[in-house]
Chains A and B, each alone.
Chain A
Amino acid sequence: MSSNTLQVKNLSKLFGENLAVNDVSFHLEKGEVLGFLGPNGAGKSTTMRMLTGNLAPSNGEVKICGIDIIDEPKKAKALLGYLPEMRPLYKELTVDEYLSIAARFHNVPSSKIRKSVDFAKDRCGLSHMSKRLIENLSNGYQQRVGIAQAIIHNPEIVILDEPTVGLDPIQIREIRKLIREIGQQHSVIISTHILPEVEMVCDRVQIINKGDLVFHGSVEDLKEQRKGNKLLIGFSKVPTIAKLRAIKSVSKVEKDGNGMFRFYFKNKYLPAEEIVSLSVKEGWGLYHIAPDITSLEDIFVNLTKSN
């Protein structure tokens, strides 16, 4: 219980008739990065807005380190750092000015503002941009300012809504590294619809679709779902399917569209060796053999479709 930094119980939000978030419950532990996945309009941002007190839930409760965000918003918000999808930057200010304001708003004592601004800039690689107007910074640097703003008061929970959208690949890598670093000391929730990002950055994953929580587990669970017991094999001289079925431990063989075969086999038996030796013996001309990995996209589509 004590290591739980965030507890969400039966959170719902109705926009008129439209149920945007439906009875979502989860919790977050210290030093954990939680990935929030979902298609567009699934309710990710709405959930995050409710977690940060920007939107009042229709039902349910949110507790930050045991403090209810509706009953004691000031106390709870002091423990939160939030970067919304649209970066809330005052572009007419310089990086230093903006971060000092952020620190002051989050109750950082005035003697420590200088220090925490420097610290946040250092963490986000902004030290050489201190005196620049935010308006003149590139997209990636503006995003860093956004993240710096969210971690400036050393919050317990950092919530980042789609932190890598619109960045170039190098910036994305840097931001991901930054998120992992932050995740070591704080609890982090990030939302995204880039699936590989979740595998790279997160410890746990939550998939939300049309307001419902459809998957909740560790990244390993998600990876487990990907592998399955399948091999994708290509032959240049195609044998009959009956011959292939005869191979030990192969449970099912089906033709792939591209002249390849998909072999399903029983758990813990990997028939690869047998297939290779058989192919050499019979002269089938094996040119491709590889585990058939269901892409994250497929899992995602399956999970979100079935609901």
Chain B
Amino acid sequence: MIINVARKELKSLFASPMGWIILSLLMFGFGFMYLDGVNKYFEVMSGSVRPAERVGVTIFVGQTVYGIANFLLTSATPLLTMRLISEERKNQTLPFLFSAPISLTEIVLGKFLGLVIFLSILVLYIFAMLATLNIWADIDFGYLLGNSFGLLLLIASFSALGLYFSSLTSQPIIAAISTFLSLIAMGVLGNYFASDPGHWFGYISMTKHYQSFTRGVIDSSDVIYFILFITTFLTLTVRRLDSDRLSG
């Protein structure tokens, strides 16, 4: 049943221009960073004479591309998540889901999964784009896979947060703005406290947890952080919808 809800979500995403536009803008953004990374690689490397200053092309271009993900997704995901529940509230289509034999958890997980699958197109696209470097260089596929996994977790966390904000209001715009603001706040605070490595905020900062992926490290504590983040917001969303059912 979760799959059926996800399929419905995907169908809606692809049926509206919004989904296509955001997807193409994101691809343009990542594509641009890739191009920029490849261009700069030769500039920077020809300048660095000592071997210690040299890094592989995978890491150099990879960090440019994956490093921008946090920023690009912060602006794009709210526009996609806002419609998930908010728009259904506004158009009063939620009874369609509520009166079908589907549990609230299945509805929430289905919507979440639908959006994550939609955005995974990006993960695949970026992977394919970076893999083309392999034509003239010998690239590190392990680094790419690790980063893809990190990007997927980042997408899933943003989606879960957006889904929760979307369940709070019947105004999609308000859902989008509040998601955007909280993502920005997380990013800004993360950068602000980044100078002090021992600061407690480092433990809850998404930027920091995502950064280890861009270095090519899969740390189980980072993975657990993302999974906890996702579960928390999905649970809150289910609770929120349930309280609707109870109080009307």
Contacts and interface: CB of A to CB of B under 8 A. Distances in A.
B101 A73 contact: yes
B93 A54 contact: no
Nearest to A72: B101
Given A56-B245, A106-B101, A92 B16 contact: yes
Contacts of B103: 73-74
A144 interface: no
A56 B11 contact: no
Nearest to B104: A73
Interface majority SS (helix, strand, loop, mixed), chain B? helix
Given A15-B248, A90-B93, A101-B8, A54 B101 contact: no
A77 B98 CA distance: 9
Interface string A81-120: 0101010111111000100011011110000000000000
A299 interface: no
Contacts of A89: 93
Interface string B62-100: 000000000000000000000000000001111111111
Given A104-B4, A105-B97, A105-B102, A86 B15 contact: no
Q: How large is the interface on B (under 10, 10 to 19, 20 to 34, 35 or more residues)?
A: 20 to 34
A232 B231 CA distance: 73
A28 interface: no
B248 A55 contact: yes
A92 B13 CA distance: 9
Given A93-B11, A101-B8, A104-B4, A52 B93 contact: no
Interface string B132-164: 000000000000000000000000000000000
Contact of B101 (A74, A84, A88, A92): A74
Nearest to A104: B4
A88 B15 contact: no
A75 interface: yes
B178 interface: no
A53 interface: yes
B246 interface: yes
Nearest to A97: B11
Interface string A178-207: 000000000000000000000000000000
Given A105-B102, A106-B101, A93 B12 contact: yes
A149 interface: yes
A145 B159 CA distance: 31
Interface string A149-173: 1000000000000000000000000
Interface string B219-248: 000000000000000000000000001111
Contacts of A62: none
Contact of B12 (A56, A92, A149): A92
A13 B245 CA distance: 12
Interface hub of B7, B96, B99, B248 (most chain A Cβ within 10 A): B99
B240 to A, nearest CB: 15
Given A15-B248, A54-B245, A104-B4, A77 B99 contact: yes
Given A74-B101, A93-B11, A106-B100, A88 B246 contact: no
Given A53-B99, A101-B7, 16 more contacts: A46-B248, A55-B245, A74-B101, A74-B102, A77-B101, A82-B95, A82-B99, A84-B95, A86-B92, A88-B93, A89-B93, A104-B7, A105-B1, A105-B97, A105-B101, A106-B101
Interface of A: 13, 15, 46, 49, 52-56, 73-75, 77-78, 80, 82, 84, 86, 88-93, 97, 101-102, 104-107, 149
6 contacts: A73-B101, A74-B101, A86-B92, A88-B91, A90-B93, A149-B96
Closest CB pairs A-B (n = 9): A88-B96, A86-B92, A105-B100, A88-B93, A77-B101, A78-B101, A82-B99, A92-B15, A74-B101
